[in-house]
């Protein structure tokens, strides 16, 4: 099956930038997503990037995609305590029988210290 | 604007009991999915459906059944609940074209004791 790998933990100080990294294995991924999950809540779509793009910026969020290395990163500028959550990387594949399935990493627990 | 609605939010089951997790979406989405999330893990696909009357297995279908009699509803049935099915269950939907956002419900927390 498809593998999406993320580091499990990241701690940063409030005001610093956070960078969460992700690697994936399927080169036919069409879209790559970042979801945020707060305790006891569902998944909130933060941003996504199409596989033919290198970068996407959305306010404090910057997504970088290195398709050659199959590496995706999410940078959060000026990280706030409200950004503390689990961040999931996911790849979406639309070919054959996979029909738009999302394959998720295990999630990175981001802790922001005041 | 309801989006994807799941019920119940919390449930405790005894081993061997059966129950149905309900999922409804009001966005006229063709694709619907059931995922489970175990502690410290990502989401694993249980079953999915590409339209009314069509369902197929995902990565971890054993112990579950689904049906899709309407576009809006996609219930997940647990038969003979086991402790291994203690998890958080998420329903999701998608219009059905590459690039369309997948919307998630709020989750259903299930404990089997």
Confidence of residue B103 (pLDDT cuts 50, 70, 90): confident
CB count, 10 Å around CB of A51? 15
Chain B residue numbers touching A4 (CB-CB < 8 A) = 42
Tokens 């998890």 belong to which residue?
B87
Smallest CA-to-CA distance from A6 within A16, A19, A17, A15 is with: A19
Chosen from A29, A96, A102 to mutate, greatest number of chain B CBs within 10 A: A102
Looking at per-residue pLDDT, the higher value among B95 and A110 belongs to A110
Is the pLDDT confidence value at A103 over 80? yes
Cα–Cα distance for residue pair A34/A15, rounded to 1 Å: 21
Q: Is A108 exposed, middle or buried (0-12, 13-18, 19+ CB in 10 A)?
A: buried
pLDDT(B98) > 80: no
Q: For B16-40, what is each residue's pLDDT tens digit?
A: 999 999 999 999 999 999 999 998 7
pLDDT tens per residue across span A72-94: 999 999 999 999 999 999 988 76
Q: Which residue has the tokens 């690697």?
A: A23
Q: What sign results for the dihedral spanned by CA atoms B78, B83, B84, B87?
A: positive
**Percentage of chain B modeled with pLDDT above 90:** 78
Interval B89-104 mean pLDDT: 81
Contact between chains at B90 and A42 (C-beta distance less than 8 A): yes
């Amino acid at each position: 099956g498809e593998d999406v790998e993320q580091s499990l933990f990241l701690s940063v100080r409030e005001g610093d930038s956070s960078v969460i990294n992700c690697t994936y294995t399927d080169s036919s991924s069409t879209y790559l997503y970042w979801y945020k999950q707060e305790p006891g809540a569902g998944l909130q779509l933060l941003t996504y990037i199409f596989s033919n793009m290198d970068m996407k910026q959305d306010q404090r969020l910057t997504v970088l995609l290195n398709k050659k290395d199959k590496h995706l990163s999410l940078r959060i500028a000026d990280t706030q305590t409200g950004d503390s959550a689990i961040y999931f990387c996911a790849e979406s594949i639309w070919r054959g029988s996979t029909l738009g399935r999302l394959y998720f990493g295990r999630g990175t627990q981001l802790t922001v210290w005041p | 604007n309801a989006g994807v609605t799941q019920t119940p939010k919390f449930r405790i089951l005894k081993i061997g009991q059966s129950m149905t997790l309900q999922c409804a979406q009001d966005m006229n989405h063709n694709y619907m999915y059931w995922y489970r999330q175990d502690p410290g893990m990502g989401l694993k696909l249980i079953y999915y459906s590409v339209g009314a009357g069509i369902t197929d297995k995902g990565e971890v279908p054993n112990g579950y059944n689904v049906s899709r009699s309407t576009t809006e509803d996609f219930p997940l049935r647990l038969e003979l609940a086991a402790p291994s099915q203690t998890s958080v269950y998420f329903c999701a939907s998608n219009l059905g074209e590459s690039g369309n956002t997948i919307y998630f419900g709020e989750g259903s927390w299930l404990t089997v004791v």
